[in-house]
Amino acid sequence: MVSSVFVVGNWKMNGSISRAEEFCQGLRRFELDLAEQVEIALCVPDTLLAAFSASEDVRVGAQNISEYDSGAYTGEISADLLMEQGCDLVIVGHSERRQLFAESSEQVANKAAQALRHGLTPIVCVGETEQQREQGRTFEVVGEQIQAVQRELKAGDIEKIWLAYEPVWAIGTGKTAQPEQAQEVHSWIRAQLGKAGVKIPLLYGGSVKAANADQLFQQKDINGGLIGGASLDLNEFQSICKIASALTKPKG
Q: Which residues bind ligand PEP (CB under 6 A)?
A: 10, 12, 166, 171-172, 205-208, 226-230
> Which residue's CB is nearer to ligand PEP, number 54 or number 205?
205
Residue 43 sits at φ, ψ, to 5 deg, of: -100, 115
The residue ranges of DSSP E strands in the chain, in sequence order, are 5-10, 38-43, 59-62, 89-92, 121-126, 162-165, 202-205, 224-227
Of the listed 39, 128, 152, 166, which one is catalytic?
166
Count of C-beta atoms within a 10 Å radius of residue 83: 17
Contact 237, 252 (CB under 8 A): no
Annotation says 118 is catalytic: no
Give min distance, CB of 28 to ligand PEP, in A.
Answer: 24
Annotation says 166 is catalytic: yes
Of the listed 39, 94, 96, 103, which one is catalytic?
94
Give min distance, CB of 63 to ligand PEP, in A.
Answer: 9
For residue 96, which of 43, 149, 53 has the smallest C-alpha distance? 43
> Which residue's CB is nearer to ligand PEP, number 70 or number 235?
235
165 has which bridge partners? 126, 204
> Which residue's CB is nearer to ligand PEP, number 35 or number 211?
211
Give min distance, CB of 114 to ligand PEP, in A.
Answer: 21
Count of C-beta atoms within a 10 Å radius of residue 220: 9
> Which residue's CB is nearer to ligand PEP, number 35 or number 129?
129
CA distance 203 to 43: 14
Give min distance, CB of 74 to ligand PEP, in A.
Answer: 26
CA distance 139 to 124: 16
- Which residues are identified as catalytic? 94, 166
